[in-house]
Chains A and B, each alone.
Chain A
């Protein structure tokens, strides 16, 4: 019988299935990972409130989480399916805790940033676990984790309240579960749930689906592989369907008059949203893909990003590294499409994979070298690996200034003083338009959720536009930050044109102005005053000229200034004697006047 199998299932009084005795995890591994995480935690939380500068999106996600907690709605405005809401639902679930602990002397968004640090720690741990699932030894796995977590670009992106940071632990968790050693169908289905959570937290993580499938395919037990793939896919699909169902139940799946729709939002994000040029094209629009790409490289010299892409190409040919290599290359290919929207947080999700591809490749090369008999080759390649490691450590020296900025610079002092000024100077019943990084601070300072208006919504949200009366005159004050200045839509831009400066602080990109929007009457009065002032100035000037003309010339005392000017003007129509006769002076004087002109 060919189907003789190794054992049978038995019901017996004593347990006859030996439980797999888990190899006790060495204590020093826990210690090493624990210390690594401590380091990461400290690096990511020192000066969290000061750097980087708060910006619009952070406030958006935080205000939406706040709205879930306090208003019971997905957003302070009409939720329009810009992103699936699961990301800020999670944020809402936990951000009340830091919010309650923080004393309120800093921006409310800081509570969101604290949650981001927790996400980063989870991601770091999962990066370590994933590295081990990929067959890396403990040391390399720890290196991969730290390589990712201490990279200045990660430090910069990881601190910001971004959906990508929330999605990342789920994404990596999905890979860890798909590659679980027990190869249990339950793990594979849990991987599907995690991936579903990742996608519902930030929809762009969907692009990693092929990489996850490859991971699952490699890891699953061959006879039941179809079950694993089916289980995982169906759970991802089920979670995705919940989102569609959500839209359907609210009658917002398809476009229609008078309501937002998932359909519209998706077609905006993927079809209508203006592309920002090609990532490698220097002529692409300012602030476009090319600039965004270079801003990523600024932080760490491109070590993690370019190194990751460079390592991913050879890693694609190493079976165990193939899933992460594929993840990196998919993200690279998407970024390299000729024209498309490329937001600055785009690389967040791929960076752990970049670190894994780099370190994984080092591990592969290291092992290969150690197996060679050829001493010279071993020495040579060993030197190369060592040089790469040393180069990596040297890089830390280059990154010193980034760390210094991250840990010491207060880029949010303008934000804080602006909030202070606004809270002190503006009436609470006034409509204040600002970017979303101010929204929660305004609400905390006593503005109602209707009166604190996110600048986009004054144009884009029909309900808000209605409330404001359909034009700029519904707006009382503007907090004019760089995010507003660069992205203001017509109504807010018009409000800016019809506003006066009350207060300003900061220089360059951190400059913030607080402006008062003028009523038409005020504007008319100011215009009239201005006209009167100009007219008066003009009259005074005329009087001054008249007086001057009547005075005697300093050079020719028998002539007034007016006569000197007249002689010079009339030189072409009258002869010198005629001029002398007309202005009762000598011909010599006329000659001198003309010569002097």
Chain B
């Protein structure tokens, strides 16, 4: 019984630390007036640079690719090109009997001045390899990555341009938002994760001097990419990995956020896809952790921060499962009252975060002009434990794959449910204003 008590107390205190630090990071943007304000892009000015926008594609439909490229071509910037990055083996007919490669070529013919196709001939296909091939075809000063399934806002490039100019940055990370928050029970949670990540957490990471970059709407100087040899072709979290390397090199990474400039994406359609996506991310983070580049960071606090960033999401996923178990054990087993109380302690930061998430949802709904209703708040609350369970399953899968050395790319399919005009309106209104 003593052993059980000690175990419960230890587990509870670990959970408390995990939940507490997560709360602290997630709330960065809302924690002080200064951090609340210091997230935006600088004012857009006269364009001074040029962009190559790589759109990595794999088994995409024409509808998805066309809307992505159309949104890109609508950018209010005079000097940019779009590079479709496809694999030579991507021959599966997607729409109208055309394969992804054929669709890309069709779109390139439609806009020959601005759209090009880069074909990767590697035997093993994954996103970083396609990106490395496409990098060789880029001609402009800045290389940006825009996922095939995402919709960019017209003012994005102009603001990123201004950011490069005014901050002398090496990398500019833009924001991505998931918009189809009502499509499934977990969609809203997924959307909130993105909102919190790009609105808040990333800025906290930026302040700490270590930042795991995202893979979408991220802009890097081409010269720098070529200097570091592009992306790690073996890593499943190539975006995070290159972020680590650039951080270690002391490169200047700037995070810009404005909800009206956020690239819009969609949540995975069903649970297996979500789990696949999360498994890939978790596995990628494990690879990055194992690769050990982060150990080259200059200060101890940065190294600790990097380490914690890379393991924390696994800890969070687990704590979502362990917390209810610990609490239940505390209640059922006849341990001393004080032990039961300690097992409940991690609930305090967890529930506080849940309260904050409701406010974040409210703020997001207002900024994006979404019709957030009571049932959405209810869903946000009710879905928490189940969503945690999904994340834990994904991490467990990742651990399994890591131990068996299975690093194959599991891509998530996109159906384009973010395309209804209701969502694109956000950008249109911004342009009108």
Contact = CB atoms under 8 A, between A and B. Distances in A.
A376 interface: no
B407 interface: no
Nearest to B207: A9
B318 interface: no
Q: How would you classify the secondary structure of chain B's contact residues: helix, strand, loop or mixed?
A: helix
Interface in A1-43: 1-13, 17
Nearest to A183: B33
A249 B359 contact: no
A5 B205 CA distance: 19
Interface in A188-223: 189, 221, 223
Nearest to B247: A11
Interface in B41-80: 41-44
Given A6-B37, A234-B351, A246 B254 contact: no
A318 interface: no
Contact of A184 (B31, B352, B359): B31
A235 B355 CA distance: 11
A379 interface: no
A145 to B, nearest CB: 28
Interface in B136-180: 155, 159, 163, 167, 169
A168 interface: no
B404 interface: no
B380 to A, nearest CB: 14
Contacts of A1: 41, 43-44, 155, 159, 258
B42 A8 contact: yes
Contacts of B31: 184-186, 224
Nearest to A185: B31
Interface stretch (A225-233, A300-308, A436-444, A529-537): A225-233
B395 interface: no
A182 interface: yes
B385 to A, nearest CB: 18
Contacts of B341: 242, 245-246, 249
B344 A242 contact: yes
Among B27, B31, B163, B260, residue most surrounded by chain A Cβ atoms (within 10 Å)? B31
B203 interface: yes
A226 B359 contact: yes
Contacts of A235: 348, 352
B33 A221 contact: yes
Interface string A369-409: 00000000000000000000000000000000000000000
A224 B38 CA distance: 14
A232 to B, nearest CB: 10
Among B44, B207, B331, residue most surrounded by chain A Cβ atoms (within 10 Å)? B207
Interface string B384-396: 0000000000000
A550 interface: no
A509 interface: no
Given A234-B352, A235-B348, A9 B206 contact: yes
B253 A10 contact: yes
A367 interface: no
A230 B33 contact: no
A238 interface: yes
Among A8, A185, A189, A230, residue most surrounded by chain B Cβ atoms (within 10 Å)? A8
B40 A182 contact: no
Nearest to B209: A11
Nearest to B256: A8
B340 interface: yes
A250 interface: yes
A10 B250 CA distance: 12
Nearest to A242: B341
B56 to A, nearest CB: 25
Interface in A113-171: none
B163 A8 contact: yes
Given A11-B253, A13-B250, A230-B352, 18 more contacts: A4-B43, A6-B37, A6-B38, A8-B254, A9-B255, A10-B253, A11-B252, A12-B252, A224-B30, A224-B31, A224-B36, A231-B352, A231-B355, A234-B355, A238-B347, A238-B348, A238-B352, A246-B337
18 contacts: A3-B258, A4-B42, A4-B43, A6-B37, A6-B40, A7-B40, A11-B255, A12-B250, A17-B207, A183-B32, A221-B33, A223-B36, A227-B27, A231-B352, A231-B355, A238-B352, A242-B344, A249-B340
Closest 5 CB pairs of A and B: A5-B40, A13-B250, A11-B253, A9-B206, A238-B348
